[in-house]
């Protein structure tokens, strides 16, 4: 199945370490729970169902367009991507500020710490 990514979106990038024990798929499922629990992130996020609202972009995934494959060019790199409505910029701190509790970035930073990832 080809991954569909279009329109405005936000993504966070991670790199696995030797201490990372969970698979990327397990990490995705855990990250989804955190995102779905955040009212700040969900406020402008496009809902595409539980399975497709947060997407995993992995190194070596040839089903992705080449420009997107380049964003995870190194082995061990991966991203989580969400589509957002154009209105997201009205609450940009909910997506881009690591000091805003419950923001997409603060969730990602804490997630990286808790899962032995490099953010």
pLDDT single digits (tens) 17-53: 999 999 999 999 999 999 999 999 999 999 999 999 9
- Is residue 59 in some structural domain? yes
pLDDT band of residue 110 (cuts 50, 70, 90) is: very high
Closest CA to 40 of 116, 99, 80: 99
Rounded average pLDDT over 57-71: 80
pTM (predicted TM-score): 0.88
77's tokens: 């790199």
4 contacts 65 by C-beta, under 8 angstroms: no
Parent domain of 50:
9-118
pLDDT band of residue 69 (cuts 50, 70, 90) is: confident
* Domain count along the chain: 1
- Is residue 4 in some structural domain? no
């Amino acid at each position: 199945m080809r991954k569909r990514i279009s329109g405005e979106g936000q993504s966070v990038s991670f790199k696995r370490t030797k201490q990372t024990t969970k698979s990327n798929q397990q990490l995705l499922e855990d990250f989804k729970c955190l995102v779905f629990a955040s009212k700040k992130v969900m406020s402008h996020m496009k809902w595409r169902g539980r399975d497709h609202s947060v997407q995993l972009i992995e190194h070596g995934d040839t089903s992705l367009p080449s420009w997107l494959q380049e964003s995870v060019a190194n082995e061990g790199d991966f991203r989580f991507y969400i589509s957002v409505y154009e209105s997201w910029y009205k609450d940009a701190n909910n997506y881009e500020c690591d000091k805003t509790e419950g923001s997409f970035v603060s969730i990602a930073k804490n997630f990286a710490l808790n899962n032995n990832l490099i953010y």
